Amino acid sequence: MHETYQKFSIQAKSAAEEILDCIANNSHFTINCHYDADGITAAGIIAKSLSRQNANFHLKLVKQMDQEIVDTLSDSIYDTIILGDIGSGYLDLLKNMKKSKKIFILDHHQINGDVNEEITQVNPHLHGIDGGKEISGAGVTYFVAKSLDEKNIDLSPLAVVGAVADMQDKNEKRELDSLNSLIVNDAIEAGLLKAERDLIIYGRETRPIHKALSHTMNPFLPGLSGREDNCFALLSSLSIPIKDGDRWRTIVELSNDEKKKILSAIVEHMTSKEVSASPVMNLIGTVYTLINEDMWTSTRDAREYATLLNACGRMDRPSLGVAICMGERGSTVKEVANLLSEHRKSLASYISLITEKPENIERYEHLAIIHSEEFLNENMTGAISSLLSSSETFEKNKVIIVLAKTKNGEIKLSARGTDELIEKGLNLGIILQTLAKRYNGNGGGHKIAAGAQIPESNQETFLSDLKNEISRTLSE
């Protein structure tokens, strides 16, 4: 094992030993995890691990850490706090709690502040490991869970789901590497996961082939994305059977020859449209299959599973996602599938509102600011900024910043960069962390993806400073 990985693993083991001591002393735990898909899988891993130790705990999913949440934790009856996929950006808040509590932070975001003796922090950044690319929040909790008890290796597929949910497979090979690859290996060796090079098309387990192909938006395939009829015609022209008897076939059932035919036909189609066919290669990558899940279900493919959980968080039902991670299936999955459908409709509606109102977009050389404060649900800023950032047609290779107003009247923003901008020195997590603090807010995240929340009264000057800081960084 790489030396830095070893140091991280030792830190996770040390935290696990402390947690076991707390359990032995009959501690009452409160678990707070981030409400996105990575945080939900982290919550599932922690909850399952503590359940197996017969520990007493209460679980809550949160959108961020702020003074109100910290005060609630301080005043609660729980003497031990575990934070999953959140916490490292809020150390100054946490170490100034009114009442002394034991705190475990299991996070992968960039660190802001210092810990005190009450705080045990497990974070890859402490060892020079990039938490934005090399391990997710769920992955950090998995390393601790595995150290609590070896049988928690059966939770490794959840950590894989958390990693793809946080888009840590967005590299040239479209696969999980670094610390994530150690988790993948655990899952494979335990007979729980299959990892193979294949077509990465959403709905590969659950949708008819032509429907799955037509729902491919990243990369966008002109004439095919959003066009079921054209996808059906393409497959028919290749003499590829769409049905097996009365049942629609899925991507996962295609033979290798059939997949090659489809890829070649898509390349030919793109060339005929005088569009670069190079994005088609993004359809090939490592597919992670949870082999203990039933065939043709949305929890069998890691990326589809992640999308389900993401919808739970964004639609204010994260507890449903945790239930799935804890093993609930049947009606719970059906309920989440309905949520996902609503979520997709919301996303499409918001994207339309943004593109139909160009006057709401401030465009600069290095960034675009989308003023959606009057109509965008605060839960959707991350999803919208990610969609726009990955779009081939919207402000390519710029920082995308999406704004919304929170229920308590503050301004929430999500920012997304690109790999090319990161190579030029951009670090959105540090920029938002620093500026939000200056303007009485909270912020942070990763180099490529970050967020902040600030008082509305500070919005104008905050955005001006943000624009200047991003421009300064990228102009050097």
User: What would the pLDDT profile of 388-434 be if each residue is shown by its tens digit?
Assistant: 888 766 777 899 999 999 998 999 999 999 989 999 999 999 999 99
pLDDT number for residue 181: 97
pLDDT number for residue 34: 96
Domains 3-163 and 358-475 alike in fold: no
Of 385, 346, 386, nearest to 369 (Cα)?
Answer: 385
pLDDT number for residue 275: 75
CATH 3.90.50.10 fits 358-475, yes or no: no
Token pair for 252:
């996962």
Of 134, 122, 137, nearest to 37 (Cα)?
Answer: 137
Q: Does residue 85 contact residue 34 with C-beta atoms inside 8 Å? A: yes
DSSP string, 372-421: -TTT--GGGHHHHHHHHHH-SSSSTTSEEEEEEE-TTS-EEEEEE--HHH
Write down the CATH number for the domain with range 3-163. 3.90.1640.30
pLDDT number for residue 155: 99
pLDDT number for residue 369: 96
Per-residue pLDDT of the chain (476 residues; tens, 9 = 90+): 688 999 999 999 999 999 999 999 999 999 999 999 999 999 999 999 999 999 999 999 999 888 889 999 999 999 999 999 999 999 988 988 877 799 999 999 999 888 888 999 999 999 999 999 999 999 999 999 999 999 999 999 999 999 999 999 988 889 999 999 999 999 999 999 999 999 999 899 999 999 999 888 777 788 888 889 999 999 999 999 999 999 999 999 999 999 999 999 999 988 888 777 777 888 999 999 999 999 999 999 999 999 999 999 999 999 999 999 999 998 999 999 899 888 888 888 998 899 888 899 999 999 999 999 999 999 999 999 998 888 766 777 899 999 999 998 999 999 999 989 999 999 999 999 999 999 999 999 999 999 999 999 999 999 999 999 999 999 87
pLDDT number for residue 387: 86
pLDDT number for residue 394: 76
- The sign of the dihedral angle between the CA atoms of 232, 235, 236, 240 is negative
Domain boundaries, the chain: 3-163, 198-349, 358-475
- Partnered with residue 405 across adjacent β-strands are 411
Torsion of CA 180, 182, 188, 191, to 10 degrees: -110
pLDDT number for residue 392: 66
pLDDT number for residue 393: 63
pLDDT number for residue 215: 85
Torsion of CA 330, 334, 336, 341, to 10 degrees: 160
Please enumerate in sequence order all residues whose Cβ is within 8 A of that of 345, keeping only pairs 6 or more positions apart, or say none. Answer: none
- Partnered with residue 247 across adjacent β-strands are 244
Token pair for 283:
């359809």
CA 275 to CA 222: how far, in whole Å? 8
pLDDT number for residue 117: 86
Residue 317 is classified by DSSP as -
Token pair for 401:
């910043």
CA 29 to CA 330: how far, in whole Å? 30
Instruction: Return the half-sphere exposure (C-beta side, CA atoms, 13 A cut-off) of residue 78.
Output: 22
pLDDT number for residue 99: 79
DSSP string, 283-313: GEEEEEEETTSPTT-TTSBHHHHHHHHHHHH
